Structure formats: C-alpha cells, structure tokens
Amino acid sequence: MLKITKVVTTCLFILNSVICLHSQSLTKFSGMVFFDYYYNLSTNTSYKNDMHGFQFRRIFFTGDFDVSNRLSARLRIESDGTNFKDEKKLGAYMKDVYFLYNTSNIQFYAGLIPTPPIEIEEKYWAYRSVEKIQSDLRGLVATRDLGLAVKSNNSNLPINWIAMFGNNSSHGEETDKYKKLYLHSNIAFDKNFVMSIDLNFANDHQNKNFYYTRLGFFFPDLIERTLTSGFTIVNTIKNNNSGKDIVSLGSSFFSSLSLKSDIKTFIRVDLIDFNFDIINDMEYSLILGLDYKIDKNLNLIPNLYYNVYENLNNKSDLVFKITTSYQF
C-alpha cells in the first residue's frame, strides 16, 4: 500500500508531465469525502459492540484532462475504509488511471477502468455515500479492473452497451494467465424506465469458470423529481476444481422520495444467499436514511444499517451513522 505522500507526489509528477507534453490545461480538479459519526448498537463482531467514533469512509481526488477534442485522461487517487483499518496513518492507492478516446458513436478506454456493474447501479442507487451497492458490498464483483473497454456513445439511441476485457486482478498487478470479460447493455424504454443486463465471465486457478449475471430495473423519475426506485437480481456460478458448482443469488430494492427541495428520504432492502448448498447462510439487510442538502455540494445524511443472519448463532448488526458527504 503506497503512503499518501508518495501517491500524491507520483500523481503530481504524472499530471505535470501530461500538461507539459501536450501543452493543455487541466480540465477539472475535483474531490469527494464521506465522513461519519458512527455507533455500533449491535454487531456480530463482539469486540465492536458499543464502539463509536468518527471515521473517513472514503476520500478521493480526481484530475481530468482534455488532451485534444477526442482524447482525454483521468487520474484518481483514493482512500477508503480498507485503508484506515490497519494503518496508523491514512493510506491511498490509484483508483482510476485511464485515457479515453471519443469518436462520434464509440468510446475507447485503456487503463485502470470502472467495471460496468458498479458504474451503472451506483448511478441509480445514488447513495454510495451511505453504502456500497450489494455486488460491491458482498464482494461479487470488483469495482475496477486493468484492461480495455469499448462503449457506445449515442444518447439518442434507446440501447447502449459496454464491452470490457481485463486482468481480473482489480487494482493489483497481473499474476497469472487468466482474464475476465464484462458485457453490459442498457435499454431505456423511456425516461422513467431503464433495464440493464450484465454478463461477466472469468476463469482462474481456483475456479474453472466464474459467471456473474445481473438484471436491473430502474425507474429514475417515477413521479417527476419526487420518487425514484430500482430493483436488481444478481446470480453468480463458480465451477470450482472439485467439480461442484457454487451458486449464489441476491436481490436489492431501493427507493428515494423527495419531501422538500432540500430533503429526501431513502430505503434499501437486500437479500443474499451465498451458497444454495449450505443451510443458514442467507443474510438480509435494511438501510434507511434522511438526506438533508445543506449547501450546493454538502449533504448531511443520518442513516441506519440493519443486517440479519439466517444463522441464529450470529448476532444481528445494527449501526447508526451520521454521514457528511461533500464535494469540492
């Protein structure tokens, strides 16, 4: 894990090199921070019971460049919850490092790129500041991969698609010969109904084949500027070396309602069965919250996370947070 000072120095060097080489000014510097006060009212991890305090759950800093009319680049560094657990000081890593080449109908990406399942569902869930989408939270799919991607680029068409081919190593370097294919299609029936389909295929030294399938139904404007909803079904199949498939199935429903111009409320319900052949391994999650827009880029979000285990030997998780989300 790179220390944040080394990462920042490296990033500034790269950004300065791009500017000098192409005589272009930076299009945009931006950042985002998720800062919580949390209280563990109940948890399955006994030593964390009644634990409370302040935490940074996510910090990222982004540089976006326009190199030419067609060519652009992004460099983003991030610290998230995993960087704050084992380090006495904040750590950071490269989140996005890619260039993008635009044509009239197609976009070409190369580098460390967001994977389609994460990018699409997070857009409609809209509360990454509160919690990850289920596929990310449960470790069903990586948020990034190093590789190549091709995306359709025509907002006038009802169908858009993404094809991506990557190392299947997330943010890490390649360590074997195996790769992953990501396919995505987004179908907009009208402005109030969008359906998305994801098919991922990978193989590695542990699993002969790995399949990830997700079907999503999103309603971004059910009641104009008032009610939004979404529903996803996720299935994974692992053909492991023992010859027995490991099948998981999950679903997620979420909705948000505008109470006033600066106040929203939201709810999400998740269900996951990690392995059909194992009894009592299901989990059920409920997320509730109130979103108060204090200023243009500043939101205060009290929220509650409740996770129940089918196995009654596990104690339910109940966490209250006051989340501050701000952009700059």
| 279-309 pLDDT, tens digit each | 899 999 999 999 999 999 999 999 999 999 9
For residues 88 and 104, what is the distance between their CA atoms, to the nearest angstrom? 48
Query: Distance between the two ends of the chain, CA-based, in angstroms?
Result: 25
For residues 47 and 34, what is the distance between their CA atoms, to the nearest angstrom? 25
For residues 81 and 58, what is the distance between their CA atoms, to the nearest angstrom? 6
**In 3-state terms, what secondary structure has residue 68?**
coil
Q: How far is CA 106 from the centre of its chain?
A: 24
Top-confidence residue, 238 or 164? 164
Question: Given this model, what pLDDT does residue 215 score?
Answer: 97
Contact 213, 234 (CB under 8 A): yes
Contact 101, 200 (CB under 8 A): no
The one-letter amino acid at 127: Y
* Average of per-residue pLDDT across 200-213: 78
For residues 96 and 114, what is the distance between their CA atoms, to the nearest angstrom? 7
Question: Given this model, what pLDDT does residue 275 score?
Answer: 92
Predicted model pTM: 0.87
Q: How far is CA 91 from the centre of its chain?
A: 19
Q: Express as a percent the part of the chain with pLDDT over 70.
A: 87
Question: Given this model, what pLDDT does residue 119 score?
Answer: 85
User: What element of type H or E holds 249?
Assistant: strand 245-260
Q: What backbone phi and psi angles, to 5 degrees, belong to 99?
A: -115, 155
* pLDDT grade for 191, boundaries at 50, 70 and 90: confident
For residues 236 and 226, what is the distance between their CA atoms, to the nearest angstrom? 34
pLDDT at 26 over 70: no
CATH code, residues 4-27+65-283 = 2.40.160.10
- Count CB-CB contacts under 10 A for residue 145: 24
Q: How far is CA 196 from the centre of its chain?
A: 16
Contact 196, 185 (CB under 8 A): yes
The one-letter amino acid at 227: L
pLDDT tens, position by position, 146-172: 999 999 988 788 899 999 999 988 877
Question: Given this model, what pLDDT does residue 190 score?
Answer: 87
Question: Given this model, what pLDDT does residue 27 score?
Answer: 80
Question: Given this model, what pLDDT does residue 238 score?
Answer: 85
- Where are the chain's structural domains? 4-27+65-283
DSSP 81: G
Burial class (CB in 10 A: 0-12, 13-18, 19+), 42: middle
pLDDT at 11 over 60: no
* Average of per-residue pLDDT across 83-93: 65
Question: Given this model, what pLDDT does residue 194 score?
Answer: 94
Question: Given this model, what pLDDT does residue 52 score?
Answer: 95
DSSP 174: -
Contact 257, 264 (CB under 8 A): yes
